[in-house]
Structure 1
Amino acid sequence: MSIVVRYQPTNLTRQLYDDVKQRMENAGGWPPDGLEMHVLFGSDGNLRVSEIWDSEEEFRAFGERIRPVLDELGVQMSGEPEVFEVHELEKR
């Protein structure tokens, strides 16, 4: 079952986001398997990320790979990401 994941970092700037993404791309981990959609939004220093994943298992597996990168670069989270089951998904 697909899930929606919402992250609420407390200090995410465009530079930090780009650094994380570059490291994941260099490691061959971006885009990850199972990621349907990834959205970055908000203002610099207060950016947010929402994603749609094919399954919670794929999301959790990716979390194990990205967490060390986030920690190393100093991305701080206000808590665990919010995870919701998708009841309906429509695309144009």
Structure 2
Amino acid sequence: MAIIVTIDMPGVGQEAYDACVQRLTGGGEFTAVDDIPAHGLISHAAGPVDGGWRVVDVWESEDALENFAKILQPILADLGLGDAEPQVIPAHNVVTS
């Protein structure tokens, strides 16, 4: 079952987000779900919110998210961004192009 993951990161801005993307992609761009070293990402969006940064992902399953977290968590910790707790809910409907 697909899941929706929302992560709010107070005090984080575009520069920190971009640094994380650079590490995830090995210095490349993140313009397609296949650009990151994980399987199961359906969609990704990120942007500024009042006082921080928000990431909203849709993953194929909680297992896919957990596998990605093993890659992402060390990067976040290294960048000093490891405190954000994701909110995970089951997806009722997922529409893609």
Shorter-normalised TM range: 0.7 to 0.9
Alignment of 1:1-92 (within 5 A): 1-26=1-26, 30=36, 32-43=38-49, 46-78=52-84, 80-92=85-97
Residues 44 and 20 of structure 1, relative CA distance in 2, 3 Å threshold: farther
Contact kept? 1:7, 1:49, Cα under 8 Å: yes
CA distances 1:30-72 after superposition (whole Å, capped 9, x unpaired)? 1521000011022485110010001110101101111011011
> Matched residue pairs, number?
91
Task: Give me the CA root mean square deviation.
Answer: 2.3
Q: Percent of counterpart pairs with the same letter?
A: 31
| Paired letter, 1:40 | A
| Paired letter, 1:50 | V
User: Any stretches of 5+ residues in structure 2 without a counterpart?
Assistant: 29-34
User: Any stretches of 5+ residues in structure 1 without a counterpart?
Assistant: none
Contact kept? 1:11, 1:75, Cα under 8 Å: no
Q: 1:91, CA displacement in angstroms?
A: 3.5
TM (norm. structure 2) is 0.81
